[in-house]
Amino acid sequence: MRKATLRLIVGLLAAGVAAAIVYGACALMVRASPQLPVSPSLALTKTVSGYIAAICLGPLSVLGLGLLFGDTARLLIPARHERFNLELARYRKSVGTDGITEEGLRYVAAWRDLSRRTSLLLSLIAIPVALALLRPSRDWSMAIMMGWVVALIGLGLWQRAFPCPRCGGRFHGKHRTRLAPPFCTQCGLPKDSGPTAAVAPDFEEWKKWNVSEPAGSATSRYGIRRRR
């Protein structure tokens, strides 16, 4: 069932993207020669591809936005409501009832806080997609986008300032990466782990590309470019 659903989503996404590309190409051809009459075949292709893109991508966009905003709303509910605290449920399942400790609960609260910051940031990034679906007036769009930019900068800084629950340093560090590594860049604590002295398997490689080696121009597997 899960594989069939995944295949359906991938199929709809591929068909929707292909139809959107065809629609965009047809629209560009029409705009490139506004004085020439539009051929019936081109107009039909544009109309059909537009409908296909809307039918395939519309439900996926609504579903994705619903899941994202729903998870963000869940993370905004206080952690004492255990029904919405999936992080606590996973921790209990992994260690058992007898293995729960105060230190472990502190780590759970920290990872929930990181998930909250990340979900809020992703929800804010997705707001333009929601605006495109709702189509507010021009004045409201300008006001919303100005506030969006300010909030995006603030939430981005807040998300990157998350402190590691083990060492207290900035979990994401000060290095700019295309994809943040799934561990603390200060002490190597794996993301979503409990109290442990272990480090992530890729932490030493990350340090090699960011601390130990002299500056260069190569790019590591995490997309970190070393400056000369």
- Provide the pLDDT for residue 94: 86
Residues 5, 122, 54, CA angle at the centre, nearest 5°?
50
Q: Which two tokens stand for residue 106?
A: 């502190």
Q: First and final CA of the chain: distance in angstroms?
A: 51
- Provide the pLDDT for residue 79: 82
Return the bridge partners of 182, or none. none
Please list, in sequence order, all residues whose beta carbon lies within 8 angstroms of the beta carbon of residue 126, skipping any fewer than 6 positions away.
Answer: 64, 65, 68, 69
pTM reported for the whole predicted model:
0.74
* Strand boundaries in 41-170, DSSP class E: none
- Provide the pLDDT for residue 173: 77
- Provide the pLDDT for residue 179: 60
Is pLDDT above 60 for 133? yes
- Provide the pLDDT for residue 204: 85
CA–CA distance, 221 with 181 (Å, rounded to integer): 10
Range 129-152 average pLDDT: 76
**Helices 102-134 and 86-95, axial angle in degrees (round to 10):** 140
